[in-house]
Amino acid sequence: MDIISTLPLNIIETILCFLPIQDAARTSILSREWRYHWIKIPKLSFIEETFQVSTDSDELSDTGNQEMIKKRKLFDAIDHILQLHEDPIHEFTLSMVTEGTPQDFDCMMFLMLHRNTIKKLKLEFVPGYTFHLGVFASHPLTDLHLVGCSLYSEPLFEGFANLSSLYIQDVTASKETLLLILSGCPLLKNATLDIDYLTYPENDDSTVINLFEYLTMVENLTLRFGIFEYFALDDIPQKLSIALVHLKYLCLKDICFIHSCGLLIIALLIKNSPNLEKLKLEILDDSWVEIYERRDLFTLEDDSNIWLEHLNELEIVNMIYRDVELDFVKLILAKSPALKKVRILLYNEVAKDEELQISEIFKQCSHASSVVDVVVEGIRGSCTSSRCVM
């Protein structure tokens, strides 16, 4: 008995969505009934590493053209599949591992986006791809994931009116383009700006305030600290013009506590996020920071305006056994009455005895929460835990 063919159509489509697109297409030979199932699935995924492209031996005789020929045939195959596809496509993924962009890539993407009701788009490239934002003109995307490309804005681009989730990693763009994207996302709820390189004109004086004024609706935010280097940091205010009242999860990657603006940025964010529930900090190896870059550190301990009423979880990765990091954790413990869990993953050069000392320091310091678990983990897998019951 053919049990799988008796399954509801939506179940069959779900199963096909988990298959590589070539395997899904091969199901068309199973029977007349299965011939058209694959062209109706709402989710398409093209992964270059797993995509098999047939090539003639003559075409591959010139090794310099091998990758270009394979890429050309891959894009031809994608275009062919898109033309055969009948029902709406709601999610599209393309992952490339070789360099170079076919000249008609933007055209193919433009036609695909405007022929389908795609909601989620995931594009992953190696650095070097150029992507024009005009391709997205007037398209109702809700989820956009971009990795490893260069972004350019055009007059046709008017923003993402329906976008709720944005993920950008290893992307090259101007500050103007980045701010243009964020300003055109009024419904943005989840944002990951995992970039540390931006181009900008010499006379550009936009500040971190200009960045955060476009993130006021975000609930989950991940930022790489390097992004702040491209904004004017001479006068970081203590208060934003509009508080981040919707922000519940904040992750700062490659944060440097001894950087001249490290604590200033952290203070600005936690003081203006009254409903923050989880804070995660990934500390950068700051041996590169020169002595002349270090100036009088902003002391969080002296700021009575900090009160994290809703914070229930703190996680710090690569913590160093140093007063500035220890004082920060002690401050959070003293200012977070709802805190339940603190997880500290130590830097790999922290010794076992120092690990025990850190755990003891946090156990003895003041806690605003009646019950909080503080877990300190060494790089060697060791773990010390203390629970404070007030």
User: DSSP secondary structure string, 190-203?
Assistant: EEEEE---EE--TT
* Integer Cα distance of 69 and 135 in angstroms: 25
Taking the CA atoms of 131, 137, 139 and 141 in sequence, report the sign of the dihedral they define. Answer: positive
375 within 8 A of 342, measured Cβ to Cβ = yes
Q: What is the pLDDT of residues 334-357, one digit of tens each?
A: 999 999 999 999 988 778 888 889
Share of the chain above pLDDT 90, in %: 27
Confidence of residue 290 (pLDDT cuts 50, 70, 90): very low
Q: What is the pLDDT of residues 88-135, one digit of tens each?
A: 788 888 888 766 665 667 777 777 777 777 899 998 887 767 778 878
Taking the CA atoms of 17, 23, 28 and 33 in sequence, report the sign of the dihedral they define. Answer: negative
The position carrying tokens 């956009």 is: 144
pTM over 0.75: yes
pLDDT of 270 reads 93
* Integer Cα distance of 225 and 265 in angstroms: 9
41 within 8 A of 72, measured Cβ to Cβ = no
pLDDT of 138 reads 73
